[in-house]
């Protein structure tokens, strides 16, 4: 029974880790490339789930249609936020930019409370079939969906960053912004693209969370904190580190909650960060001068 319990908790942790990895992946792009400490990232994560709930519950859209519709909205919102707020502060000190993102988070959370209320929302998946049994381990169809979509999104993001012209431009701007500008790379467009991509990944993570569990505005601040824990754990600016850190945090929390106590699960991430930074100050996959990719 101990082995089956371990496998069940590990599988649950893998699902949670997918949410963490997707959220942190978007934050790592924004933090690593644009040097923006985006405390509104958690609110954008929640907004994706809330919009998907409206699309599937109130409008009756199937999930396969709701996901691209919501992601298109999240992308557009990311473009608007970057152009309307962050682009005006591109050369500002990191502190006022951080304060702007905190204010944006408060605005988004209160707007969601006003529009959607405080009741937790669920994203309707249409997967009401019986759970799947893998020996003594049980997994629902919605969790399989969450894992599958997360894996596809992570691979697609990696391919975008590593093997496309836009990705090469993003890495050039991150590594040598002055040289990139002299080479004719449109810096403003790359910043807009990067922030919109990060916002979209956060929204996708929120959709999947709502499909497996529930989502509500009170999750915004914890989601942002967990995302920062993950990117520090994996290495700031490292996209593989964000994925590894997210999966590791999800597994650690699930195993701790299953075998020790659920009362201290939120502290597990901070203990992991402290323990790892004592031996690797740059994080698991980070370097002294971390690079995106």
Is residue 288 very low, low, confident or very high in pLDDT (cuts 50, 70, 90)?
low
Is residue 287 very low, low, confident or very high in pLDDT (cuts 50, 70, 90)?
low
Residue 1 has pLDDT above 60, yes or no: no
Structure tokens at 12: 């649950």
Query: Residue 166 CB: number of other CB atoms within 10 A?
Result: 14
By the 8 A CB rule, do 233 and 273 touch?
yes
Residue 125 has pLDDT above 70, yes or no: yes
Tens of pLDDT along 223-234?
999 999 999 999
Where does residue 239 rank: exposed (0-12), middle (13-18), buried (19+ CB within 10 A)? Answer: buried
Q: Where are the domains of the chain?
A: 14-218
Rounded CA-CA distance 207/209 in Å is 5
- pLDDT for residue 291: 45
Rounded CA-CA distance 168/130 in Å is 45
Residue 163 has pLDDT above 70, yes or no: yes
Across the range 36-46, mean pLDDT stands at 95
Residue 293 has pLDDT above 80, yes or no: no
Q: Which string of DSSP letters, residue by residue, matches 150-163?
A: HHHHHHHHHHHHHH
Tens of pLDDT along 57-91?
999 999 999 999 999 999 999 999 999 999 988 87
Across the range 81-105, mean pLDDT stands at 91
Q: Is the dihedral of CA 6, 7, 8, 14 positive or negative?
A: positive
């Amino acid at each position: 029974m101990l082995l089956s319990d371990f496998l069940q908790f590990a599988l649950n942790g893998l699902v949670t880790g997918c949410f963490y990895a997707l959220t942190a992946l978007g934050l790592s792009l924004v933090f690593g490339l644009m040097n923006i400490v985006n405390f509104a990232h958690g609110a954008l994560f929640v907004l994706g789930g809330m919009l998907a709930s409206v699309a599937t519950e109130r409008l009756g859209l199937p999930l396969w249609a709701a996901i691209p519709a919501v992601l298109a909205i999240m992308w557009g919102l990311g473009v608007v936020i970057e152009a309307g707020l962050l682009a005006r502060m591109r050369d500002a000190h990191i502190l006022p930019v951080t304060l702007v993102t905190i204010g944006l988070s408060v605005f988004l959370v209160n707007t969601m409370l006003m529009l959607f209320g405080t009741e937790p929302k669920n994203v309707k998946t249409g997967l009401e079939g019986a759970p799947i049994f893998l020996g003594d381990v049980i997994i629902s169809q919605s969790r399989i969906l969450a894992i599958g979509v997360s894996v596809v999104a992570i691979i697609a993001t990696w391919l975008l960053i590593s093997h496309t012209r836009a990705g090469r431009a993003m890495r050039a701007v991150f590594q040598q912004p002055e040289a990139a500008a002299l080479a004719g790379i449109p810096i403003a467009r790359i910043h807009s693209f990067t922030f919109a991509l990060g916002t979209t990944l956060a929204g996708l993570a929120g959709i999947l969370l709502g499909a497996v569990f529930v989502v509500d505005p009170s999750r915004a601040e914890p989601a942002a904190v967990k995302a920062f824990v993950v990117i520090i754990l994996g290495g700031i600016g490292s996209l593989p580190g964000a994925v590894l850190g997210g999966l590791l945090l999800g597994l650690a929390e699930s195993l701790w909650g299953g075998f020790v106590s659920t009362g201290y699960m939120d502290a597990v991430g901070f203990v992991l960060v402290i323990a790892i930074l004592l031996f690797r100050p740059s994080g698991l996959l980070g370097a002294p001068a971390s690079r995106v990719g």
